[in-house]
Structure 1
């Protein structure tokens, strides 16, 4: 596939886009430093804010979720540079694509607990955005912090907390919310009750239910088999033992029911038959925080258990299937402030168990396997001088895996992951960061141990899955340059400008891909996972945000190009170049916010298909009542205002047409 006609052109465009930032900065070098509103990046593990982090990050807050009204986590991130929505149009199958990598190459966390579920053509992001307080992303490899899986990045989802939702002096509160969108005639009812039971105990109980029809596309047709029903909820109990100790217990559960193709990223066909699918996901987390007055102790410990069950009925073949995936895990991280700098260190580990049943003959036999990973990590933050900071990181992981249904399948391996960042505060307004990161991804049980029939060729001939217990881990080496600039008093008093830019090169070796071999001459018909590819992904990001009184302006650009190092050919599946421009304006003493976002995605040409460029316009308004209307909030968002009929690069499915989303919330 040719992502663009020439690699040189792509590199030049990236350089030109990032150079725009330098042009804008030139006239304002004497301006003061600006302080944008900052939030903690939970995925960083060191309690750093977005401004303090030495990595490329993206953050979506609860306010932004309320304004966007996204149907999935991936959709909530779609405006971020170099993050795209993958998995097709059906929300339950969507996942973020970060700098060209997705799926098991992007680590997913919920309240620090790994979400490792993986089974072919089944959605992995099970949590509804209604339950979330924040989503933050680390772009690029981060195994030195999190171990296996983070070769493309980390998506950390933080659930809502009742203490933070209470108003001052309030001991009991809650909300009820009703949503509706027109593209799928979707209705969604949600609500929560939260409060403090006494001086030590606090409680949150929340839930939601949604129902939708097939999704209407921009050509007035509907995407068949895209209707679904979803429900879920969460209970979170907090116990404040004393000023320095807190224990939390949370349990979350979600269920999704609908008829979908065997591969939800496609339409129903002979190779992707209609399936009635019910997915149930649950997670229980016990957490302990200890933060005494000592500078040496800032401790977080969590134990978690995740369980994902999928029941399926293949309509035409009358076959009943089931998938069961379970994860047990532990996280322990401490942060110490020392005379010479800061240390973040800890241990973590998890065990995955997967099994399943496939009824009927000539069917795949799901992995009946176990994978166990234990690791320890250390990251230092060392000031070298007034303007220089060195941040080295080191992690060791040991993983073991075996299949109960395959003899002599047990194997183990060790991996070291390093990182190194050097930060230079060149001036009050400019920070430059150079960093190097390593990462790895251990093969999943499905990749290692799936056996049985893949598909029937004809008559007695079948293509069979062949287990490959000798798969090597995927490995990544990433080099990155980051520039950040912040100003105030630029064009007017009390205004602020923030510019972030980055250039990266991520080399990934031993890519694991599924290969289908159809050798009629030698009568070899098989499917197996192989380490077949070495990839180089290069690109850059630029974002410029300006704020003055009640006005917010922004523009961003992201580009990733990738090729196979062995053949020189461009890799498929890499998202198109994307520009996003945004404007927001507050009215009525910041009671009403109006906003618009314009997105342009460039065209992409592959060896077999042409994906046209497209432009989208999304608009919205969010109103918060005061006085006699206190507690009432109303939202209006219109995605794809011009009803564009389009599809994203490398997607078989076209996206939803004009989608008017309404929400009404009452908070008490």
Structure 2
């Protein structure tokens, strides 16, 4: 770890005054321990993004959501498939658990160049908050919490029915120049202490996201983004019933759907196995629907003082259609090729969690225990064909329809136990926790998967179990100063598509093999931290080291089949990865230095990672990033503004595994990653409340019109023009909200 960096942020912390007069608000989180806790009482690092902050920053999507969260990122620039999942401290994809109201978001799945189902299934306007747990937390949440957890909580009727209000109606409209998108949200809520309900509907229409590119030429040299039309709809409905004090039942329905039409101009004029690609157009649809029934109990009986239980069903589907005009040798007549890929998941589950507070001698205990059970069904199908200009079918070497893996049922049963122990009159807080997960995958080899032309073997079932542990400690030296340390473990069960992947491409000369002997990926994390808090400020400093083992490498070359003349590929467990880093966060009310109504926030994230087996840098690590914000809120509360400065260090050749050096020869089979320059950008946000019923929010992003490429997006550049992956120049957003 960079010693100069650690020394510098230590000086910043030490320079904070301990004098006090006006308390900084404390943030409350659930994701760290499954119980409501102040962030200052956690022996770990958690960030909370409130709905107020979402509104003030004019957040449109999950990428905007973490715009000002160093160490957390979302990629997807320049892709037809849209935004990818979250990356936390250099670990991303399905290694970060993402949930909505405690229910897992569908997993990512990709196959070849025409299928990439991603995890952008949430509309931001439906959220009351987002919580981000950094580092492994499988002792709390189980599989996939290898790199961290992103937990979304949707809005509820109680968020709108304050005090004696019995009804609430609001309409919100917005526009963003960055993608010419319009937004409309209607919110209805009503009820009383016994029965309450809510309905939120959001519609978004937009186009491709702007960049700093120049030409709109067809082909890989294209700098402008590929043209897109995007439409999304989201409905969230809830009905709550509180039959008596301490008891509440809530029925929730959440439906999200999105359709994106793309003209992939950057592919026009390219060649695949000697065939010229004239044009490619895609129609990609995805949807997610969730039904859940939750029960909350708050009271006292021998086994629990609080119970949280839910039963749920969720289904999702990604449908991706490609229509391609192509001209094969001798380049006389055109053909039309189609590829239709689907990926569907269904999950049914039940969660029961109980909390009991006890006093044993001079110690206080908050015991959390319970079980999670969920059953997931996953299925994929690929179909396609080629017709000539006369509409006559052209034979293909690939058999259709086909599956990349057999339809699979996955069962997971888990039991967890955690004890928050308060000692020494509350000065010392110990939090041991343990979780046992048992999982089993049962594939079904149907006629499509076992088509003799495909050559797939009979799929193999898979079962395994994991025990994940955690031990955290927090010590309060004074009311203003505390320190924490935590050891935690994480794991990810082998994915269904790695255990039983099945695909043979005779044209390219390779086949894939299943591997029922795969082991779970595991991680161990050590983190220490220091927190300072006063009436004018709060600050935290954390340093961590994470060790990851048995990472699964998909489609690794394992040999050659001389009988069929095919290369053999298989998913296998690889060696070790280590990630070290440090993070600093400061929030301050500047009234203490005479700047009334001004506030400051700052955050810095630094990490370095290494593949210990190959002794190479880890390309998933983001560069050193800092975010500083200065806000002003008028004494009247009618208006305010926030200026945010984001600074990102360059990513140079020495920090990259297989760097792409400009001007050097390029291996088309292993292109490498382009180094990125450092950059700084300024964003300005403001609001004005005309009255209690009408409010306007505006934002101007990238005030200096800076041209830059984010490191997370360089993995998608390939042989295309890097300009197409630049971020937008100066752009603006506006929203208007009217409340009855």
TM-score by length of 2: 0.82
Aligned pair partner of 2:729 in 652, 657, 661: 657
Aligned to 1:568: 615
2:121 matched residue in structure 1: 126
Task: Give the deviation of 1:77 after TM superposition.
Answer: 1.6
**Could you list the per-position Cα deviations for residues 131-186 of structure 1 after superposition, in whole angstroms to 9, with x for gaps in the alignment?**
10100111100000011010111101010112221243221111111110111111
- Report what 1:466 is aligned to: 513
Deviation at 1:650, TM superposition (A): 4.0
Distance 1:620 1:30 in 2: 31
Counterpart position of 1:326: 346
Give the superposition deviation at 1:199: 4.3
1:310 correspondence with 2:318: yes
Residue equivalent to 1:24: 15
1:474-485 matches, within 5 Å, as 474-485=521-532
Question: Which residue of structure 1 aligns with residue 478 of structure 2?
Answer: 427
Unaligned runs of 5+ in 1: 1-9, 489-495
1:366 to 400, 404, 414: 404
Choose between structure 1 and 2 for higher RCO, CA contacts under 8 A separated by at least 6 residues. Answer: 1
Residues 210-249 of structure 1: per-residue CA shift (max 9 Å, x gap): 1112222124563114431111111111111111100001
Q: Is the 8 A contact 1:218 1:658 kept in 2?
A: no
Structure 1 residue 409: Cα displacement: 1.0
Q: Is the 8 A contact 1:193 1:204 kept in 2?
A: yes
Match of 1:238 in 2: 240
> How much does 1:29 deviate?
4.2
Structure 1 match to 2:705: 643
Offset of residue 89 of structure 1: 5.4
Q: Deviations over 1:333-361 (max 9, x none)?
A: 11111003111111112111111211132
Q: d(CA) in 2 for partners of 1:303 and 1:14?
A: 47
Contact preservation (8 Å) 2:561, 2:568: no
Query: What CA distance in whole angstroms lies between the structure 2 residues aligned with 1:74 and 1:514?
Result: 26
Aligned to 1:342: 366
Q: Distance in 2 between matches of 1:224 and 1:580?
A: 30
* Alignment-derived partner of residue 2 in structure 2: 11
**Residues 261 and 473 of structure 1: is their aligned pair in 2 closer, same or farther, counting only changes over 3 Å?**
farther
Deviates more, 1:228-237 or 1:41-50: 41-50
Other-structure match for 1:201: 195
- Counterpart CA distance in 1 for 2:560 and 2:90 is 35
How much does 1:43 deviate?
Answer: 5.0
The structure 1 residue matched to 2:641, chosen from 565, 582, 594, is 594
My pick for the range that moved more, 525-534 or 157-166, is 525-534
> 2: CA distance between counterparts of 1:117 and 1:588?
46
Shift of 1:127: 0.7
1:188 to 153, 177, 183: 183
Structure 1 residues 528 and 32: alpha-carbon distance in aligned structure 2, compared to 1, 3 A threshold: farther
Distance in structure 2 (CA, Å) of the matches to 1:136 and 1:119: 24
Take 2:132 and 2:544, find their aligned partners in 1: how far apart are those partners?
16
- Rounded to whole Å, the distance in 2 between the matches of 1:379 and 1:181 is 45
Return the match for 1:63 from 40, 45, 52: 52
Is the contact between residue 21 and residue 542 of structure 1 (CA under 8 Å) also seen in structure 2? Answer: no
Determine if the alignment matches structure 1 residue 615 to structure 2 residue 609: no
* CA distance 1:217–1:30, change in 2 (3 Å): closer
What's the RMSD between the two structures over aligned residues? Answer: 2.4
State the alpha-carbon separation in 1 of the partners of residues 13 and 294 from structure 2: 45
8 A contact 2:588–2:599 mirrored in 1: yes
State the structure with more CA Rg.
2
SS in 2 for 1:51: helix
Is residue 282 from structure 1 mapped to residue 289 from structure 2 by the alignment? Answer: yes
SS in structure 2 at match of 1:170? coil
Q: Does the aligned pair in 2 maintain the 1:33–1:429 contact within 8 Å?
A: no
Structure 2 contact 601–628 (Cα < 8 Å) conserved:
yes
Q: 1:31 to 1:621 in 2, by over 3 A?
A: closer
8 Å CA contact 2:13, 2:539 repeated in 1? no
Higher mean C-alpha displacement, 37-46 vs 549-558: 37-46
1:611-653 deviation per Cα after TM superposition (whole angstroms, max 9, x unaligned): 1111111111112232xxx311101011222222211114132
The answer on whether the counterparts of 1:261 and 1:267 sit within 8 Å (CA) in structure 2 is no
Structure 1 ranges of 4+ moved more than 6 A: 266-273, 518-522
Match of 2:429 among 373, 389, 397: 389
Structure 1, residues 376-415: CA drift from partner, whole Å, max 9, x if none?
1111111232322211111111111121126361121111
1:173 to 168, 176, 181: 168
1:530 aligns with 2:577: no
Cα distance between partner residues in 1 of 2:318 and 2:70: 33
Return 377-386 or 355-364, whichever deviates more: 355-364
1-structure distance, mates of 2:559, 2:307: 57
1:444-471 Cα offsets, whole Å, 9 max, x none, are 2122222124x67xxx443333222222
- Give the TM-score, by structure 1 length: 0.91
Q: Would the alpha carbon gap of residues 622 and 424 (structure 1) be closer, same or farther in structure 2, given more than 3 Å must change?
A: same
Structure 2 distance, partners of 1:650, 1:134, is 25
Deviation (angstroms), 1:50: 1.8
Q: Contact between 1:482 and 1:500, CA under 8 Å: does it hold in 2?
A: yes
CA shift, 1:42, in A, is 4.3
Counterpart Cα distance in 1 of 2:532 and 2:285: 48
| Matches of 2:29 and 2:560, distance apart in 1 | 57
- The 1:136/1:541 distance shift into structure 2, 3 A limit, reads same
Q: Does the 8 Å contact 2:253/2:290 carry over to 1?
A: yes
